[in-house]
Amino acid sequence: MNNYYVLIYLTEALKAKCAGCSFYSSISPHKNVWEATIGDLHNKVRLIFSSNPSETALFMDQYRPAKKQNVTAFFDDLTDCKITEISLASNDRFISFRFENDSILLFQLFGSKPNIFLVRDNIITGSFKSPDEFTGKKPPEPRQAPAERKKPKEGISAKKAIIQTNPKFPRPIIPHVIEHYNLESKSSEEISELTIKLTRAMETNAEFRVLADGNLCLIPEKMLPVENKKVFDEINQAIKYVYYKTSRERRLSAKIQSIKPKIDSLIRKSKSAIRQLEKADKGLERAKEYEKLGHLLMTNAHTQLEQGTESVTLPDLYDENKPIEIPVKPGLSVAANAQLYYEKSAKAERSVKESERRLVETRQVLKELKSVKKSLDKIDKVYEFDDWLKENRRQLEKLGILSDGKTQKKSPYRKFELDGYEIWIGKNAKSNDRLTTDAHKEDVWMHARGVSGSHLVVRMNNQKEMPPKQVLLKAASLAAWNSKARGSGLAPVIITKRKYVTKPKGAPPGTVRVQKEEVEMVEPKNVLS
């Protein structure tokens, strides 16, 4: 949605619609969303910017007056100023709006903290996010293009060969390209030639396709025949569709997946518990049998037992005086052994009553869990989920679906949420051990390679697939940040499933052996801040 080639076409669309128009006002109607009104007295548009790292976007939409009152206004210095020029950095995802008062509105459309900067005389005078941090500083500089294109090394993965050939190649499209062209079996030179060919097609013969997986693709369908969800005639409509439709679907799916697997797990556990508790009548049979043995021993309380006797045979008064062998505890009298059987009988009866009580409670819990799941299944909009969570939070905490806030303080490792996924981060070596032990085999495990640091786990709720790529990369950046690689520009991070991580016998705390791994190079960042 915000790859460099999309921004090439978007910049041209913005020039056609906004150049020469006036900037009226801008506000933030929602968290991480900025809207500006641009146009003239007869024709206005909304310019919308999303600073959410997983949904960074800039596009135009139909004008409508702001509904919310008392919202914060931004960039008042631009009010009634005309836009004189709109441009895209030659090698980076920065779009600049230049105004007649020599101010520049600089859109940074990448990274973990996308932002808008108001710049004058090469100094930031304001920003959409964190103005106190940036005001008075120089604006970020676009990356410079390399002097010459480097050929990818032989023997590297197809993905790395594509990226080394063209670092701006859209990441979400790479898996489709690798699969369609069977690039894992091709040489780096062949992959490089194909990458150049596909890049040229995006630059000169783009098609604005939203794929079935929700990603925006500019490669013509004849060159990459992947299923389309929708095809558009111009880029702005395609970006708007992805943002409003598929991004919303992904956000809703992530929110639901943070809750639903836990509900499903508790329903399974409740059903299993009910099946066990329904067998409580067998405990009642045991209670009656213990009581019977106690009575038989008491009727023979006068009998003397020899030292070391482990059982006694008596006539069964309840079964036509047939002989019955009764185990006894050596060293105790017949009467004392009878008392032990009475105590066992009483304990079995108490256990039955407790099981009956728990059966009633568990059936009620199951009923509530099914009701909660039914109401969750009806949700198809993000705001509906947010309202549902707010209304049901107390019940969700009571049922154990959500933490009541006390668990965090007692946890041996830190817990956070990242784009709808629960993240665990170790505090020290012992904490790393506990974290890795507690993690489920399908959880995603990470650690900065070659340096000491915290183990990190992305909770998958028993799901075998991997989380979205942007979640993996953000989590990897967080793992690198919580390691001795924090000060590095880039750091390698091991990514694997927990089931491939073992602890060698007798190894020091925090030491593990990884049987199968992938490595991502990421910038160490605290993406949670």
- What is the DSSP code string of 449-467? TTS-B--EEE--TT--SPP
272 plus 397 within the same structural domain: yes
Could you say which of 134, 150, 179 is where a domain stops?
A: 134
Domain that holds residue 52: 4-134
129 plus 15 within the same structural domain: yes
Report DSSP state, residue 244: I
Two tokens, residue 135: 């005001």
CATH of the domain at 27: 2.30.310.10
For residue 144, being part of any structural domain is answered with: no
12 plus 79 within the same structural domain: yes
Cβ–Cβ < 8 Å for 465, 497: no
For residue 308, being part of any structural domain is answered with: yes
For residue 528, being part of any structural domain is answered with: no
For residue 507, being part of any structural domain is answered with: yes
391 plus 277 within the same structural domain: yes
446 plus 377 within the same structural domain: no
Backbone angles phi, psi at 290, to 5 degrees: -60, -40
Could you say which of 257, 290, 321 is where a domain stops?
A: 257
Q: What angle do CA 284, 289, 294 make, to 5 degrees?
A: 125
344 plus 360 within the same structural domain: yes
Number of domains in the chain: 4
For residue 262, being part of any structural domain is answered with: no
Within its chain, how far is the Cα of 495 from the centroid? 15
Please give the Cα distance from 25 to 171 (Å, whole number).
Answer: 34
395 plus 416 within the same structural domain: no
Please give the Cα distance from 34 to 49 (Å, whole number).
Answer: 5
Positive or negative torsion for Cα 300, 303, 305, 306 = negative
225 plus 311 within the same structural domain: no
Nearest to 338 by CA among 291, 305, 303, 302: 291
Report DSSP state, residue 185: G
Count CB neighbours of 459 within 10 A: 22
298 plus 370 within the same structural domain: yes
Two tokens, residue 260: 């639903």
In the block, tokens 């990818």 appear at 152
Query: Could you tell me the pTM of the whole model?
Result: 0.57
pLDDT per residue as tens, the chain (529 positions) = 789 999 999 999 999 999 999 999 999 988 889 999 999 878 999 999 999 887 899 999 999 876 656 678 899 999 999 999 999 999 999 999 999 999 999 999 998 899 999 999 999 999 999 999 999 999 999 988 777 777 898 889 999 999 999 999 999 999 999 999 999 999 999 999 999 999 999 999 999 999 998 899 999 999 999 999 999 999 999 999 999 887 777 778 878 888 888 899 899 989 988 888 888 777 888 889 999 999 999 998 988 888 889 999 999 999 999 999 999 999 899 999 999 999 999 988 888 888 888 899 999 999 999 999 999 999 988 889 989 999 999 999 989 888 755 444 567 899 988 877 889 999 999 999 999 999 999 999 999 999 999 999 999 877 788 888 889 999 999 999 999 999 888 999 999 999 999 998 888 888 999 999 999 999 999 988 6
369 plus 272 within the same structural domain: yes
Could you say which of 386, 401, 416 is where a domain stops?
A: 401
384-396 burial, b at 16+ Cβ within 10 Å, e below that, comes to ebeebbeebeeeb
109 plus 205 within the same structural domain: no
321 plus 429 within the same structural domain: no
